[in-house]
Structure 1
Amino acid sequence: MSDLEDISQHVHDKISSLQHMLDLSVIELPQHKIKKLGQELFSLEKLLEELERCVDQQKKQLYHLKALEEYFQKALEDVQHIKDNIPSHIPRKKDPVSGKETVRNQNEATDRQPAQADDIKQTSKTFVKEMEFITMPEFESIPQYMKGRVSYDQLNAAVHCINIAVTAKYKILHQSVKTLNNHARKLHQRFKDQQTKDTKGQYFVVEDDIREFTQMKVDKRFQGILNMLRHCQRLRELRGGGFIRYMLL
């Protein structure tokens, strides 16, 4: 911008100089003065051309700056929208004091576990498979008659509850019976009785596990959610022995 101002000032000075020379034109000028006037006019023409080029460059730069401003404004709106619509199942930042994740309250599900789960020894070496959350494209692929009134967040809240049940169940199974309290020992035996040769190496839960470790209602709506999860290839059913085992895929 300073270059443009300098050129503009220079043109202004040239015009003023020419104006003074024209004012004196009524007087007969020597030949060398007339020649100098021509040179000044030629110089002014060059300066005007340079000024036009600078103006064109400034217009182009202004156009690109406006486009850049619109791009960043759109990006800012997108980021704000993402911030305001974070799915409730996304893992939260752990609290620096308690070390626990901060999770939004959910009407349909909770990750609160009974007291006996607190007595289970924590082992980082033991792997427990968890169900992956449903993505938005997967949710949109579910037929409307199957979804009913279940929302995207509610479906993933159910996934979260199933993962809680799976984790709690297999932490008990992976523990030595001697380290468990009486209630956990009964659960350990019950889990063993539910296993078959077809479940070897697999992770599964039954409806009683959902009731034991979560507060999610095992009702007709829950059965509809299971159908949606089967549609998304998150689990399959294995029946036998009076149980319906929901096998994680």
Structure 2
Amino acid sequence: MGDLEEIIQHFQDKLSSLQRMLDLSATDLPKQKIKKLGQEILELDRILEEFEKCVDHQKEHLKQLKELEKLFQNDLETVQHMKDNIAAHIPRKKCAVKEDRPALNQNTAADVQPTQAENVKKTSRSFVKEMECITLQEYESIPQYMKGRVSYEQLNAVVEGINTAVKAKYRILTQPVKALNNHARKLQQRFKDQETKDTKGQFFVVEDDIREFTQMKVDKRFQGILNMLRHSQRLREIRGGGFVRYMLM
């Protein structure tokens, strides 16, 4: 009884044998025939019991296979979701801000002399803190009413823009006055005037810095993105003196 067909044939043979014996039951059967009939019935009962055990075993095996299939299906859906939502900004400690000179607007580009910046000596504040990129998990945790139509890529583009403004500001702020031209000197003095005891040793920008060093529009949409960055604990506000200072955290 190696396969299902053999099992079926075996049962048919047994049943045929029993049927013949039952057909003869109208007449008196010898004791040996009755004994054989009983043996055949017991044999069928034993085979049925084993067959039921085999069916139960196969049912349990099928259940395990279905559970395994469900796990594989979940993994497949997760991988497909990752494939369909590959982020432009892979989560990392810092955003990929270019190391070259940040883009300035036309006024600043005309006033700051590159040859002067190259001769500036390093100071104790040569290190400039940068805002970390928003991870995809953090982006998804932001309430929908706060995100609106701002995409993950657009949010991190503002992060990079703020980092550009911070680097440009503190590059000027740490230079000796004599190494700067008139416009850069005015900027440096403005930066110093905006500092308070709460901002000492910290890095921050104001809206004028965003306009000065980047091409980003400081509008209602920009303010909404700042709310998202505050929610994600990337910056906090310090008000005073008619300014809103956006301090990196």
For the Cα contact (< 8 Å) 1:202–1:248, is it kept in 2? Answer: yes
User: Does structure 1 residue 16 correspond to structure 2 residue 17?
Assistant: no
Q: What's the counterpart of residue 158 of structure 1?
A: 158
Mapped to 1, the partners of 2:220 and 2:227 lie a distance apart of 11
* Counterparts of residues 108-123 of structure 1 (less than 5 Å): 113-114=102-103
Change (3 A) 1:57 1:173: farther
* Counterparts of residues 128-139 of structure 1 (less than 5 Å): 128-130=129-131, 133=134, 135-139=139-143
Mapped to 2, the partners of 1:40 and 1:223 lie a distance apart of 89
Change (3 A) 1:101 1:50: farther
Change (3 A) 1:174 1:197: same
For the Cα contact (< 8 Å) 2:142–2:231, is it kept in 1? Answer: no
Cα deviation 1:164-213 (Å, max 9, x = unaligned): 4335544x379776xxx868x94894545543333112220123432454
Alignment size in residue pairs: 217
SS at match of 2:246: strand
Mapped to 2, the partners of 1:21 and 1:223 lie a distance apart of 90
Mapped to 2, the partners of 1:182 and 1:114 lie a distance apart of 18
SS at match of 2:240: strand
**Unaligned stretches of 5+ residues in structure 1:** 93-99, 103-110
For the Cα contact (< 8 Å) 2:128–2:167, is it kept in 1? Answer: no
For the Cα contact (< 8 Å) 1:139–1:152, is it kept in 2? Answer: no
CA RMSD of aligned residues (A): 4.8
For the Cα contact (< 8 Å) 1:89–1:160, is it kept in 2? Answer: no
Cα deviation 1:81-129 (Å, max 9, x = unaligned): 233234444448xxxxxxx969xxxxxxxx993397x9799xxx94725
For the Cα contact (< 8 Å) 1:206–1:246, is it kept in 2? Answer: yes
Q: What's the counterpart of residue 236 of structure 2?
A: 235
Mapped to 1, the partners of 2:219 and 2:75 lie a distance apart of 43
Mapped to 2, the partners of 1:101 and 1:200 lie a distance apart of 27
Mapped to 2, the partners of 1:90 and 1:173 lie a distance apart of 31
Identity %: 49
Change (3 A) 1:38 1:11: farther
SS at match of 1:197: coil
Q: What's the counterpart of residue 72 of structure 1?
A: 72
Mapped to 2, the partners of 1:15 and 1:35 lie a distance apart of 20
User: What's the TM-score, normalizing by structure 1?
Assistant: 0.59
* Counterparts of residues 31-42 of structure 1 (less than 5 Å): 35-42=35-42
The CA deviation at 1:137 is 2.8
For the Cα contact (< 8 Å) 2:91–2:133, is it kept in 1? Answer: no
SS at match of 1:199: coil
SS at match of 2:238: strand
Structure 1 counterpart of 2:57, one-letter code? Q
SS at match of 1:45: helix
**Unaligned stretches of 5+ residues in structure 2:** 105-113
For the Cα contact (< 8 Å) 2:128–2:166, is it kept in 1? Answer: no
Mapped to 2, the partners of 1:150 and 1:34 lie a distance apart of 87
The CA deviation at 1:17 is 5.9
